[in-house]
Structure 1
Amino acid sequence: MPPSNNPTLRQQRLGSELRKLREHAGLTATAAASLLGLRQAQISGIEAGRYAVSADRVRTFARSYSCADPAFVDALAAMTGGRQRGWWDEYRDHLPVGLIDLAELEHHAAALRVALVIHIPALLQTTDHARALFGEAVPPFRQHEIEHRVSHRVKRQGILYRETPPPYTAVIHECALHMGYGGPTTVRAQLQHLLDMSELDHVTVRIIPFGKGSFPGTGQSIDYLVGTVPQLDTVQLDAHHGCEFLDAEAQLDKYRHVLDRMEANALKPAASRDLIHRITQDT
């Protein structure tokens, strides 16, 4: 299979994990190539995510690198093969690559944890709310750009309606419930949708009420995508320049603790629903 000049973030992650295994084994790319009967350029291409690699080859790499974590090896093997096209690929000519990568990572996540202060989580937004939100972009999007983004966001939400959906936990500051995007009708519909989604068995919504004071992560939107093993977790942060993805062990540990602290400041699910309901009635 010819190399890919535009590997996805998921392909790059597989390659980087193989590189970490090699380096942990104390092998150079040249030494690994000799050990595995490959060319050094092939090792480099695989580790950059540009060459597809089979599950069997990943297991061979892991044995050669003396990896003694079968669950991790199985998880890496599950990421192999040529790049499988998903629904998100139809947006590659229309949206930033970070949004495409995010949709693919969400699709494969074992669970999702999100925390937001001034926005409703993307996977829990109504189309009218999303459209109003995109309408506030600076510089402004053209109408067809708004519609591409709204459509992409709605399709991302499909993971919550799968036959076996991933557990989804959202911690939202009360501030986000009062932002008023789209006017009263849109706001009431959005709050009611949030209530409806919070009733699903796999969706947990917890609100940090006004008066809770400071907590870590203030002002920052966090998406924590749980992998099939902890080593393959990914953090996505919203930034003005686009999506920022983090996967270093220290970063993952930091944001696990941030999310735990934010959840500790949040109301329980039932009390959160009561607060959302009261705000809906007052809107």
Structure 2
Amino acid sequence: MARERSGRTVAHLVLATRLKVLREAAGLSLKQAAAALGAHPATVRRIEQAQTSLDVGQVSALLAAYGAARAETDDFLGKLASANAPGWWHPWRAVMDPWQLDLMSVESAAGIVRTWEPALVPALLRTPSYARAVDDVLRPDLSPAAKDRRTDLLIQRQERLRTQQTRIWAVMSAAALYTRVGAPGIMAEQLQVLRAVAERPDVTLQIHPLDGPPHALTGKPPLTLFRVEVPEISDHVVREGGLAGTADVWDAPDTVTAYRLLLDYSCATALHPDKSKEVLDLS
């Protein structure tokens, strides 16, 4: 089962972990720290696990109880102010799926994003027209305006990942190359862009050919794994659901490792990136 998450940003998670480290360095128990707040120990536990927002007053009281120096307190509160500011994706929150709201901060801090797509072009490699056409089919519950906003968001995600030099490693089925999405011109543009994207140094694209044998991800729904280069943050994996807009999200190490191995096994049997480029050239 997916772990229930709080929707805190990566910056909140880092600061929460730092509070725990400071408490332990001060030799205080949860009960003793809670006494400084006049609260139950469970409150401090929730703060340290980023299961609740970080209140400036509570944080200041905890830092004082832990004997934090003035400079350290000022630095912590300054970072807290930045963490409490809305994420760049805030203007699009109304059209985002709940799991996207929860994971956007993780994606925005990711050093590598690995993804599997069984039937379509991976989302992070889609053109705006292709992405809009996919939503037209898969998201009939959304208004045209909402679909347009979601396309705008995807463009922003792609641009920001490239700017922050996040590596994208995608594995897909060749079936996507022959599945017509939208008008013929949309598919032609998508294939042209996919060929160009495959040449980028920050993108690794592998394809499972139509006449290939079953592999580790055969029959599996779309899957994305985020790796964040921050010690306090676990890797996260997203498995999109059968219902539109739903997904399971995990960050438990055992579960993430199991899915990472599936990606590894699938990539090991997919075409080499150079051979995948040849498939694109022939499509």
User: What TM-score do the two structures reach when normalised by structure 2?
Assistant: 0.76
Native 8 Å contact 1:110 1:226 kept in 2 = yes
Native 8 Å contact 1:129 1:187 kept in 2 = yes
Map residues 32-71 of structure 1 onto 2, 5 A cutoff. Answer: 32-34=30-32, 38-39=36-37, 40-41=39-40, 42-46=43-47, 47=49, 48-51=51-54
Q: How far apart are 1:153 and its partner, in Å?
A: 1.2
Q: Which residue does the alignment assign to 2:91? A: 90
Q: State the AA in 2 paired with 1:252.
A: V
Q: State the AA in 2 paired with 1:244.
A: D
Q: Which residue does the alignment assign to 2:147? A: 146
Match of 2:267 among 235, 248, 263: 263
Higher relative contact order (CA 8 A, sep 6+): 2
Match of 1:232 among 214, 234, 244: 234
Q: State the AA in 1 paired with 2:279.
A: L
SS at match of 1:135: helix
> Where do 5+ consecutive residues of structure 1 fail to align?
1-5, 62-76
Native 8 Å contact 1:103 1:156 kept in 2 = no
1:136 pairs with 2:134: no
For 2:230 and 2:161, locate their aligned partners in 1 and report how far apart those are by CA, in whole Å.
21
Size of the aligned set, in residue pairs, is 248
SS at match of 1:237: strand
1:176-223, Cα deviation, whole Å (9 max, x unpaired): 111110122111110111111111111111111122222222231111
Native 8 Å contact 2:115 2:169 kept in 1 = yes
SS at match of 1:92: helix
SS at match of 1:232: coil
1:200 pairs with 2:204: no
For 1:142 and 1:206, locate their aligned partners in 2 and report how far apart those are by CA, in whole Å.
34
Map residues 1-283 of structure 1 onto 2, 5 A cutoff. Answer: 8-10=7-9, 14=13, 18=17, 31-34=29-32, 38-39=36-37, 40-41=39-40, 42-46=43-47, 47=49, 48-51=51-54, 81=80, 82-162=83-163, 164-218=164-218, 219-229=220-230, 232-239=234-241, 240=243, 241-279=245-283
For 2:239 and 2:153, locate their aligned partners in 1 and report how far apart those are by CA, in whole Å.
18
Q: State the AA in 2 paired with 1:201.
A: P
For 1:118 and 1:91, locate their aligned partners in 2 and report how far apart those are by CA, in whole Å.
26
Q: Are the structure 2 counterparts of residues 192 and 109 from structure 1 closer, same or farther at C-alpha, using a change threshold of 3 Å?
A: same
Native 8 Å contact 1:7 1:50 kept in 2 = no
For 1:87 and 1:268, locate their aligned partners in 2 and report how far apart those are by CA, in whole Å.
36
For 2:139 and 2:202, locate their aligned partners in 1 and report how far apart those are by CA, in whole Å.
35
Q: State the AA in 2 paired with 1:151.
A: D
Q: How far apart are 1:133 and its partner, in Å?
A: 0.3
Q: State the AA in 2 paired with 1:216.
A: A
Q: Are the structure 2 counterparts of residues 38 and 276 from structure 1 closer, same or farther at C-alpha, using a change threshold of 3 Å?
A: farther
Native 8 Å contact 2:239 2:247 kept in 1 = yes
Q: How far apart are 1:52 and its partner, in Å?
A: 5.1
1:98-120, Cα deviation, whole Å (9 max, x unpaired): 22333322111111111111111
Q: State the AA in 2 paired with 1:243.
A: A
Q: Are the structure 2 counterparts of residues 192 and 38 from structure 1 closer, same or farther at C-alpha, using a change threshold of 3 Å?
A: farther
Q: Which residue does the alignment assign to 2:71? A: none
Aligned-residue Cα RMSD (Å) equals 3.3
Native 8 Å contact 1:118 1:175 kept in 2 = yes
Native 8 Å contact 1:52 1:83 kept in 2 = no
For 2:181 and 2:150, locate their aligned partners in 1 and report how far apart those are by CA, in whole Å.
16
SS at match of 2:95: coil
1:22-46, Cα deviation, whole Å (9 max, x unpaired): 9xx9xxxx94141576434440441
Q: How far apart are 1:232 and its partner, in Å?
A: 1.2
Native 8 Å contact 1:131 1:146 kept in 2 = yes
For 2:147 and 2:158, locate their aligned partners in 1 and report how far apart those are by CA, in whole Å.
17
Q: Are the structure 2 counterparts of residues 106 and 50 from structure 1 closer, same or farther at C-alpha, using a change threshold of 3 Å?
A: same
Q: Which residue does the alignment assign to 2:73? A: none
For 1:247 and 1:107, locate their aligned partners in 2 and report how far apart those are by CA, in whole Å.
16
Identity %: 23
